[in-house]
């Protein structure tokens, strides 16, 4: 048995879709299905009811779901122990957070929260959106902080999780500013003079949101792709060096815009608002988590 089979199964249990699960795991659907079959072969019973739509777990699958999450959590904990990491204190909260939020939003948000709640001991697991979500549903963290947009939603079962709306983040295009604080490149460009474009890798959540902005743009956009990465911070540094235009979250560039280093490369029509959300599992409970969530629930609206 391979641990990735457990990860595949937990993703399928969350999405109830072989197609979406295969996409999330960066596999073809036939390859994903073979891995689920391999897990069922190892278990010795069917875990997925393939006669229903959307996909459902069998009674055995429902039982195994809880055990699979615990197994993965124990494996990760054992690995951490063997790598010389001390167990976290009982009052430490673990957050799964996408890279961009860990740089731009989380530090200031935590400072504001601690002013009312008191000092927290926490561990931050920063990764891409998919891996942060996976760590959370597998039981590897107490809380998930993430983006949400109706056209690119975070797939979580409403009955198993509680959520809060922390605010709104806007994604829009930016370019290096000149001495007059004007952008050096402006969208939409033209066929004769396309705008140098700095984009996100295919696995990045912001890649999907950027494609959505361009699809809904007020006029056709002429771009020349020069660079790709999966991290907004990497794109921001490329923009600061004048290499082109990138779609960046406002919280990540607020300082640079304030000091005249970056400027919006298009008007407000070339942007999209995303909710910032925080989730917890109803089944995961510790005194510090309950106290923290009770405080936050009085400060932020529920989803």
Confidence category of residue 86, pLDDT binned at 50, 70, 90: low
Q: What is the CATH number of domain 93-167+275-299?
A: 3.40.190.10
CATH architecture type of domain 3-84: Orthogonal Bundle (1.10)
Position of tokens 């991290």?
Answer: 231
pLDDT at 132: 83
| Multiple choice CATH, 169-273, 3.40.190.10, 3.40.640.10, 3.20.20.120, 3.40.220.10 | 3.40.190.10
State the chain's mean pLDDT as an integer: 88
Question: Is the pLDDT reported for residue 1 higher than 80?
Answer: no
Q: Which of 119, 120, 105, 217 is nearest to 166 (CA)?
A: 105
Higher pLDDT, 233 or 54: 233
Topology agreement, domain 3-84 and domain 169-273: no
**Which long-range CB contacts under 8 A does 5-8 form with residues at least 24 apart?**
5/35, 5/36, 5/38, 5/39, 5/42, 6/39, 6/68, 6/71, 6/72, 6/138, 7/72, 7/134, 7/138, 8/32, 8/35, 8/36, 8/39
The pTM of this model reads: 0.70
In the chain, where the domains are located = 3-84, 93-167+275-299, 169-273
């Amino acid at each position: 048995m391979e641990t990735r089979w457990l990860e595949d199964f937990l993703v399928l249990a969350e999405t109830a879709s072989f197609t979406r699960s295969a996409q999330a795991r960066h596999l073809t659907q036939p390859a994903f299905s073979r891995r689920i079959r391999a897990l069922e072969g190892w278990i010795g019973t069917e875990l997925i009811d393939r006669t229903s739509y959307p996909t459902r777990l069998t009674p055995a699958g429902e039982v195994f779901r809880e055990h699979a999450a615990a197994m993965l959590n124990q494996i990760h904990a054992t690995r951490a122990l063997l790598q010389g990491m001390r167990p976290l204190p009982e009052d430490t909260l673990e957050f799964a957070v996408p890279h961009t939020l860990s740089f731009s939003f989380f530090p200031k948000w935590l400072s504001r929260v601690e002013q009312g709640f008191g000092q927290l001991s926490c561990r931050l697991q920063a990764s891409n959106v998919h891996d942060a979500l996976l760590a959370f549903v597998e039981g590897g963290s107490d809380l998930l902080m993430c983006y949400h947009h109706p056209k690119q939603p975070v797939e979580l079962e409403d009955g198993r999780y509680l959520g809060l709306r922390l605010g709104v983040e806007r994604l829009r295009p930016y370019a290096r500013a000149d001495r007059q604080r004007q952008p050096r490149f402006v969208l939409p460009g033209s066929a004769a003079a396309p705008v140098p474009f700095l984009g996100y890798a295919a696995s990045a959540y912001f890649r999907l949101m950027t494609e959505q902005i361009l699809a809904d743009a007020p006029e056709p956009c002429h771009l020349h792709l020069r660079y790709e990465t999966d991290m907004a911070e990497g794109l921001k540094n490329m923009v600061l060096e004048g290499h082109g235009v990138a779609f960046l979250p406002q919280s990540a560039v607020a300082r640079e815009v304030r000091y005249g280093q970056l400027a919006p490369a298009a008007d407000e029509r070339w942007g999209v608002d995303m909710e910032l959300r925080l989730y917890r599992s109803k089944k995961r409970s510790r005194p510090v988590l309950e106290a923290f969530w009770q405080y936050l629930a009085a400060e932020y609206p529920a989803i």
